[in-house]
Structure 1
Amino acid sequence: MENIYTKLEQTMAKNRYMSYIHPSYELERMLVQAIQTMDINTSIDILKQINALERASLSKKPLNSLKYSLIGSCTIFARAVIDAGLDAETAFILSDYYINFIDEATSIKAAEKLEYDMLNDFIKVLKRHKEYYYNPLINRVIQYIRTNIEKKLSLQEISSYVNVHPNYLSSAFKKEVGKNLIEYINELKISAIKGYMDYTNLSISEVSYTFNFNHITYFSRFFKKHTGLTPKEYRNQSLASKASGGGI
């Protein structure tokens, strides 16, 4: 196998001969900083500066070369928002989502547009996260709830996880978030259930089982109490809305 250092030297010599140089690390660092401060306009301006330079040749096929470059951009964006405080799972889900879009791109123009869409969405998701950014204790609680939303969660369990007294956690959560812990859990649970109803082919009974309800009757009561609709009514509305091209 060819020595990697020899290969590096050969490539550097070739790049010098062709007057090619990778975009400066300083520009990349500035882009990361703009992302982390959620400054979309500056982020776009810096990305345009980077893209005004010649891209690295990563494949003999121009579209494939661009796709590989965009996957690199996606990695930079994801790491930037994680370092700014977004939970890694959310960042990686968004990253996977866009990598699939990149893979499916059929033209250079479409792929180039994806990079700016991707940048915008990473910043939007980070902004939304920051809107709900609380003190470290409450952030740990919220992260635990989000990670375990399919389970039956209780104040006792969560307070044990964060190692504080239940009464203290209840009071602190209400003061910081503006609603009690159980209300918050129920809101997130309903949102998660709707996601399953909208984007999976699971039956209503399977969704009920996924969220650990003892019986589908209890599940239906819980869902109607918080949405005004039975699960079946909600799913029918969701399917009708998709068929008409609208949204719930």
Structure 2
Amino acid sequence: MEDWTTKITLEISKYLENFQLKNNSFGLLFLLEVPHPEVILMPLNEKPNFSVEEINYTYSLQFQREFIEEDDVEYALDVLNLFKLSEKQRLNLDEKTSNNLTEIINFLRNELQSSNANYQIIKSLLKVLLLHLIRFQKASLLPQDHLQNKIYQFLQLLELNFKTEISAKFYAQKLDLSSKRLNQILKEKLGQTATQLVRQRQITEIKRELQKKNKSIKELAFDYQFNSVSAFSRFFKRHTKFSPKQFKMWQ
């Protein structure tokens, strides 16, 4: 098995600015020992949108995408949606959830620090922690919040179809909305249109594929429905400032 010890880290940090999110990783900051406990979520390969501030007793956790992809698809989708759906990338916690998370984090930290740390135990503890956050987030969505539910459904469709479907029309039809209305909802809640979100998701995944180096650039162009390698390269460079070949060489 590939060495996993560099793919998950848990630390107690005094200052938020000390936290640096690694490549191809999700990040979590747990502010649990404050009057109003919360979790700050940092999506895959995205910069946090919170302002740096000084807070004591901050647990910082980051883990690579592979930790969730080894499990079932539904769980992986829920984790991806957890990081996408949380408004302003923050979850304000109740006391019970905060206490539960603190207990899980302590178990996880003890296992990570153990001289005979077990990969399966660590992965299971991470899964329990994320499932607690997913359950809390879903419970926080009010039944009458129709727009939030539509966004959740859109993000699920996005994860299943982003390689081959980029038009707002495809997703709007699945959600029984007009393309204009879908884009209005997404723009209001997530700051981007359907096509922009699809393209962003494609770029994130293409970067990951290039880092893994399991596929050629030609194969990736075919996977993402481009009619030529040059068209694929122009698309990638437009969004990253680098050609796929340059990006792959630097990994």
Higher relative contact order (CA 8 A, sep 6+): 2
TM-score under structure 1 length normalisation = 0.49
* Higher helix fraction (1 or 2): 1
